[in-house]
Protein backbone atom coordinates (compact mmCIF):
# COMPACT_ATOMS: atom_id res chain seq x y z
CA UNK A 1 0.00 0.00 0.00
CA UNK A 2 1.30 3.39 -0.91
CA UNK A 3 0.45 6.50 1.06
CA UNK A 4 1.81 9.61 -0.66
CA UNK A 5 3.32 11.80 2.03
CA UNK A 6 4.43 14.44 -0.43
CA UNK A 7 0.83 15.58 -0.94
CA UNK A 8 0.53 17.20 2.49
CA UNK A 9 -3.14 17.26 3.45
CA UNK A 10 -4.43 15.82 0.17
CA UNK A 11 -7.84 14.18 0.54
CA UNK A 12 -6.58 10.96 -1.06
CA UNK A 13 -3.82 10.66 1.52
CA UNK A 14 -6.29 11.00 4.40
CA UNK A 15 -8.70 8.53 2.80
CA UNK A 16 -5.86 6.00 2.73
CA UNK A 17 -4.97 6.77 6.35
CA UNK A 18 -8.62 6.28 7.30
CA UNK A 19 -8.67 2.89 5.55
CA UNK A 20 -5.52 1.84 7.42
CA UNK A 21 -6.99 2.85 10.79
CA UNK A 22 -10.14 0.90 9.94
CA UNK A 23 -8.07 -2.20 9.16
CA UNK A 24 -6.13 -1.85 12.40
CA UNK A 25 -9.35 -1.56 14.42
CA UNK A 26 -10.71 -4.69 12.74
CA UNK A 27 -7.64 -6.63 13.86
CA UNK A 28 -7.59 -5.28 17.39
CA UNK A 29 -9.94 -2.65 18.74
CA UNK A 30 -8.25 -0.31 21.20
CA UNK A 31 -9.79 2.90 22.54
CA UNK A 32 -6.72 4.99 21.76
CA UNK A 33 -6.67 3.65 18.18
CA UNK A 34 -10.34 4.59 17.83
CA UNK A 35 -9.49 8.06 19.09
CA UNK A 36 -6.65 8.44 16.57
CA UNK A 37 -8.85 7.08 13.79
CA UNK A 38 -11.54 9.66 14.52
CA UNK A 39 -9.23 12.48 13.35
CA UNK A 40 -8.79 11.11 9.82
CA UNK A 41 -12.37 11.82 8.65
CA UNK A 42 -11.83 15.50 9.43
CA UNK A 43 -9.22 15.57 6.69
CA UNK A 44 -10.70 12.98 4.32
CA UNK A 45 -14.32 14.13 4.49
CA UNK A 46 -15.44 16.86 6.87
CA UNK A 47 -14.91 18.16 10.38
CA UNK A 48 -18.62 17.95 11.30
CA UNK A 49 -18.65 14.25 10.44
CA UNK A 50 -15.48 13.68 12.44
CA UNK A 51 -17.00 15.53 15.41
CA UNK A 52 -20.01 13.22 15.37
CA UNK A 53 -17.73 10.19 15.40
CA UNK A 54 -15.44 11.60 18.08
CA UNK A 55 -18.35 12.47 20.36
CA UNK A 56 -19.52 8.84 20.21
CA UNK A 57 -16.24 7.68 21.75
CA UNK A 58 -16.44 6.94 25.43
CA UNK A 59 -12.96 7.14 26.88
CA UNK A 60 -14.10 7.83 30.42
CA UNK A 61 -12.89 11.42 30.70
CA UNK A 62 -9.58 10.95 28.91
CA UNK A 63 -7.91 14.29 28.27
CA UNK A 64 -6.96 13.28 24.72
CA UNK A 65 -10.62 12.83 23.80
CA UNK A 66 -11.33 16.43 24.78
CA UNK A 67 -8.16 17.65 23.06
CA UNK A 68 -9.30 16.00 19.83
CA UNK A 69 -12.75 17.57 20.11
CA UNK A 70 -11.14 20.95 20.74
CA UNK A 71 -9.05 20.57 17.61
CA UNK A 72 -12.05 19.51 15.52
CA UNK A 73 -14.23 22.40 16.71
CA UNK A 74 -11.68 25.06 15.68
CA UNK A 75 -13.21 27.23 12.93
CA UNK A 76 -16.62 25.60 13.49
CA UNK A 77 -17.51 26.58 17.05
CA UNK A 78 -14.73 28.41 18.87
CA UNK A 79 -16.65 28.38 22.15
CA UNK A 80 -16.88 24.57 22.11
CA UNK A 81 -13.24 24.38 21.04
CA UNK A 82 -12.20 26.47 24.05
CA UNK A 83 -14.46 24.53 26.44
CA UNK A 84 -13.04 21.18 25.31
CA UNK A 85 -9.49 22.47 25.53
CA UNK A 86 -10.05 23.69 29.10
CA UNK A 87 -11.46 20.29 30.04
CA UNK A 88 -8.51 18.52 28.40
CA UNK A 89 -6.03 20.69 30.32
CA UNK A 90 -7.83 20.13 33.62
CA UNK A 91 -7.87 16.36 33.13
CA UNK A 92 -4.22 16.29 32.07
CA UNK A 93 -3.23 18.02 35.32
CA UNK A 94 -4.91 15.37 37.48
Q: Taking the mean position of all CA atoms in its chain, how far away is CA 2?
A: 22
Q: Look at residue 2 and tell me if it is in a domain.
A: no
Q: What percent of the chain has pLDDT over 70?
A: 87
Q: Look at residue 74 and tell me if it is in a domain.
A: yes
Q: Look at residue 5 and tell me if it is in a domain.
A: no
We report the CATH number of the domain holding residue 40 as: 1.25.40.10
Q: What percent of the chain has pLDDT over 90?
A: 45
Q: Look at residue 19 and tell me if it is in a domain.
A: yes
How far apart are alpha carbons 15 and 32 in whole angstroms? 19
Number of domains in the chain: 1
pLDDT band at 23 (very low <50, low <70, confident <90, very high): very high
Domain hosting residue 84, numbered range:
10-92
pLDDT at 65 over 80: yes
Amino acid sequence: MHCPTHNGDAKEKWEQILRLWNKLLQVEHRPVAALNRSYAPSKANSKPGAIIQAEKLSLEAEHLDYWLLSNLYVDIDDQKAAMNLKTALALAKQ
